[in-house]
Each structure stands twice: as C-alpha cells, then as structure tokens.
Amino acid sequence: MTDLGTGREAEGTPDPSAASPATAATAVLDGPTAVIDPDTAPPTEPPPVQWAPAEPAPKKKRLWLWIGVPAGALAVGAAAASLVLIAPGTAVAGVPVGFMTAGAATDAISQRLSATTIVLGPGGPSVTGAQLGATVDARALADAAFDARPLWNVTQWFRDAVDAPVALDAATAEGALRAALPGSFSEPIPAKVTFTGGAYAVTPAVAGTGLDLDAITTALHDAFVAGASTVTVSAAPVPVAAPATTVKAQAAADQLNAMLQTIGFYVGDERTVPVDPATAASWLTVTPEASGSYAITADAAKIRTVVDGLPAAVNRPPANGTVVTNSDGTVLETTVPGADGRTLGDTSGVATEFASQLAAGKAAFALPVTLTPASTTTLQRLLEVSLGEQRLYLKENGAVVDSWPISSGTAEAPTTPGHYRVNSHIRSQTMKSSDPNNPYWNYDVPNVEWVMYFNGDEAFHGVYWHDNFGTPSSHGCVGMPNYRAKQIYDWSPSGVDVWIHG
C-alpha cells in the first residue's frame, strides 16, 4: 500500500502537516482522550486516515465579455448621440453646425454674427456685429435645424443652408456708426407748431443726415449668410427725416385751431363763458415727442385765473318768458325770451380737470351748475272786428288790451264776417282795381303800408287818404290810421286769430 503522504509529495501535493488548520486533514476521536502504557497495551489497528477536501475547479475565462462590453457601449453611445446632434453638412446662415448639439450650435451662430465686420466705405473704419447690436434668434434657429435635420435622419444630411434674419438695435447701431464716422451725421430739425396771428401755424421740419441702417443690416445679413467675415458698405450720408414731420405738425395745428373755435365753459349746449384764442394759447404748450407726435399740455394755474371769475359770468336768477299763441295753442312768437336761473357749483377742481381735458384735445368744459327753471307766460292774442261798432279790439287771453275805430267795407264791398288767421305781412304795396263797367272798382292807391291779409284780398292796413274812421269806407278791407296799422302789424304774428262779426 502506497503511503498517502509520499504519494502526495510525488504528485506535488503539499504536506498536510504544513497546511493551515483550515485545509489540513483532521482525525475524528470519540470520547475522552486516554493515556496508554506501551508495555501493557494490546496491539491496535492503525487509526483511519481522513482525505483532504478536493481542490476547487479552475474558473472559466470569459474573454468575450471583456472584449464585448466596450464595443456595446460604443454602439449605445453612437445611437444616443444621433438623437441629440444635428446632421452633418447642416449650415445656419453660413455657420456649419453639423455634429453639434442645439446648444453648441446656438453659441456658434451667435459668436459668428458678433464677429462679422462691416467696413464703412473702401478703406474706411469698421464695426462688428456686436458693436452694431446685431441679433439673431440663434437658439430658435439651432432648435429648428435640429428638429428638421437630426443626425439620425440620413435623408437630411448635407442639405441647403438655413437663412437667418438679422436685426440691429437702432440706438446701439447709430451710436457705433456715429463714433466711427461722426462727419456723416447731422441732427434733423423737427417741425414746430406755434401760435401766431390768432391761430396755430407750422414751421416745416428740416432733414438731417446719417448712414443707411437698412442697407447696413442687409449687408450684414448677406455676409453672415454667405459665411463671409467682412463686408464693405457705402458710407455716403443719406437724409434722415425728423420724427416730428411737417405733416404731423400740421395735423396738430389743425386740431388746435379746431379747439380754439369751441374752447370755453359750457352750461348745457351754451358756451356761457367763451375763451378767446390768445388766452387759450397762453394756457397751452405744444411739444414734439420722440415718437414724432405732438403732446399738448395745459397750465392749470393759468386756467385758474379765469375760473375765479366764473361765478359773476354764470350765476343768474331765472328770467320768465312770454310767448304769443293762437286758439290752437301754437306758439307764434316769443316776445320775451325766458332763461333758467343757474348757480355755479364747486369749482375747486375745474382748472385741473380742464387742463387734463385740453391735453386730450377736448375744448368744451361742462360746468357744474344747478338750474332753476324759468316760467313762461302764454298770451293768446285775437284781432276782433265789430262791424256794427266799426271798431277793432285787441285781446290777450280774452281780455281787451286796446281798441280804436276802423273803416270796414261799404255795402258795395262788405267785409266778410267769420273766423280767420293772419296769413301774411307786407310792409308796403300799391292797391288797385280796374273794372270798366263799374267805376267803384276803378282805383289805384300807391304806398299802402302795414298790410296784413287774413281772407283772400281782405286785409288790415293803414289809410292815409281819409280820416273817416268809425264809418265803412273801404272795398272790403279793415282800414285805420297808419300808426295803428303799424301797432297791430308788430303785435300780430302770422297765425294770430281774426274774428269778424256784426
């Protein structure tokens, strides 16, 4: 039987005695350990041998994993990049942005525009896009380029360049250009609006000079789109109109002159206290604004001096009126105009309010007034002729206010009884008639005055050819002395009632 220990050494197996307690073979004993005398102890069998545990199997080498992981990661990275990068061959306004993210493309576009240089005339000074305040919506352009042409979409590779609208900040650009070529600039003179001779007149605007910002913007855009870093533009001055143009000034003057026609303090529709143009103009200031329009301002302190005098001009007691009517109640004439009484209210804020109103272009100020209504007296007038008495009565509301003798028509041409109304007034005329067969109807009387017709050819009128009043003497008319005829001519408006009776 081969010695196991020798055999292990022959096989190159380490000595178990030299092994660590964790790997060495161990004998298993049952019960307590006893001390044996070798002289008296019976022969015994050699103790059984415990085998050492088997060596673990060698691990398999998985080289494929170490080789495959980098290649897989590269593939995943490429796929991810295709989702965030812009397609190759893409250019935005001459700026190549292929294989860039939208953020990187934004920076590239902005930097390129800022660095683009404008040369002002051959051999002249230069300014950059940054100095001109040039802007482009680089982020929107980059996002649009990525949206339309992502890297993964091979059909969008190497397509035409994308245009990029360029804008200049006018104030920044003008400042840079003035600094570069100060001799090309002169200030325009705005039109003026001034009050002269009772009205507002205009002094025309005068144009200044400057450089053509539109042409410079176009040149910068074209150079940017073409990918050029420098471009030369004309430095010849061009006219620069004043924002406050002659046309705008004339419109302001027209508005002001229209205001002067109506300016004042009103009670209802009545311009109770007009304001003369010179006084109004002393309140107003007309100033051109940066936008070119004209601002109107008013001085409340100057308005206040007029407001302080308003009570004397506005306050009044009611004035009762009188009107003439006929029997139908129709007003024929106002003999005494009535007027409501009025009392001016609180005026502490009027000057300030009117100043604000004038600045807005409104020239009629409605005053705070309390009205006291006036009463109206109605006079129903009547011309009554008594043929039996040969007398005229003037009546108002049924009462006789005056009376005198008249001459009505004779028996050959009697005055016709009835109710009539005066229908016309004639200051003077010739009355005539011609009848070969009846001498009574042959007459020609010139300069008959104060004539009022009421029934066909029958009229009230003055008589200068006789004084036989109280006796019928006419051809149907009602005659009286001239001064009496004038009296009723003025007293009786057209439409007044006439009553002829026996």
Read off the pLDDT of residues 299-349 as tens digits, 9 standing for 90 and up.
999 999 999 999 999 999 999 999 999 999 999 999 999 999 999 999 999
Q: How far apart are CA 81 and CA 116, in angstroms?
A: 31
Q: How far apart are CA 385 and CA 478, in angstroms?
A: 8
Q: In terms of domains, do 173 and 127 share one?
A: yes
pLDDT band at 481 (very low <50, low <70, confident <90, very high): very high
> Which among 324, 349, 372 is the end of a domain?
372
Inside any domain, residue 39: no
Inside any domain, residue 29: no
Which residue did the predictor score with more confidence, 229 or 53?
229
DSSP type of residue 206: B
Inside any domain, residue 47: no
Whether pLDDT at 31 is above 60? no
Q: In terms of domains, do 105 and 212 share one?
A: yes
Give the per-residue pLDDT at 146: 77
Per-residue pLDDT reduced to its tens digit, 55-97: 444 554 444 444 444 544 444 455 566 677 888 977 776 788 8
Inside any domain, residue 24: no
Instruction: Print the domain residue range for 269.
Output: 248-372
Q: In terms of domains, do 262 and 228 share one?
A: no
> Which among 341, 372, 403 is the end of a domain?
372
Inside any domain, residue 30: no
Q: In terms of domains, do 228 and 94 share one?
A: yes
With a CB cutoff of 8 Å and minimum separation 6, the contacts of 369 are: 267, 314, 342, 343, 344, 345
Q: In terms of domains, do 213 and 155 share one?
A: yes
Which residue in 164, 160, 151, 161 sits closest to 102, CA to CA? 151
Structural domain count, the chain: 3
Q: In terms of domains, do 278 and 390 share one?
A: no
> Which among 372, 402, 426 is the end of a domain?
372
Q: How far apart are CA 334 and CA 379, in angstroms?
A: 10
CB-based burial of residue 227 (10 Å sphere; 0-12 exposed, 13-18 middle, 19+ buried)?
middle
> How distant, in Å, are the alpha carbons of 93, 94, 315, 337 from that of 228?
10, 8, 81, 87
Inside any domain, residue 16: no
Q: How far apart are CA 415 and CA 480, in angstroms?
A: 14
Phi, psi angles (nearest 5°) of residue 349: -105, 5
What DSSP letter does each residue of 61-111 carry, written as one string? P-HHHHHHHHHHHHHHHHHHHHTTSBPTT-EETTEE-TT--HHHHHHHHHH
**Dihedral angle, C-alpha 22, 27, 28, 29, nearest 10 °:** -130
Q: In terms of domains, do 273 and 398 share one?
A: no
Interior angle at CA 141, CA 139 and CA 142, nearest 5: 65
Q: In terms of domains, do 92 and 184 share one?
A: yes
Give the per-residue pLDDT at 160: 74
Q: What is the pTM of this model?
A: 0.53
Per-residue pLDDT reduced to its tens digit, 188-220: 999 999 999 899 999 999 999 999 999 999 998
- Domain containing 292 — which CATH number? 3.10.20
**Range from 27-41, 105-119, 246-260 carrying the lowest mean pLDDT:** 27-41
> How distant, in Å, are the alpha carbons of 48, 138, 253, 265, 447 from that of 296?
126, 43, 11, 19, 63
Amino acid making up residue 52? A
> How distant, in Å, are the alpha carbons of 258, 263, 307, 364, 412 from that of 267?
20, 13, 14, 10, 62
Which residue in 147, 151, 146, 166 sits closest to 226, CA to CA? 166
CB of 188 closer than 8 Å to CB of 245: no
Inside any domain, residue 41: no
Q: In terms of domains, do 343 and 479 share one?
A: no
Q: In terms of domains, do 106 and 229 share one?
A: yes
CB of 449 closer than 8 Å to CB of 482: yes
Give the per-residue pLDDT at 148: 73
Q: In terms of domains, do 278 and 403 share one?
A: no
- Domain containing 449 — which CATH number? 2.40.440.10
Which residue in 377, 415, 396 sits closest to 488, CA to CA? 396
Give the per-residue pLDDT at 80: 63
What DSSP letter does each residue of 22-66 carry, written as one string? TTS------S------TTTSPP-PPPPPPPPPPPPPPPPP-HHHH
Q: In terms of domains, do 291 and 430 share one?
A: no
Which residue in 122, 128, 159, 130 sits closest to 144, CA to CA? 159
Q: What is the mean pLDDT of residues 179-187?
A: 93
Inside any domain, residue 20: no
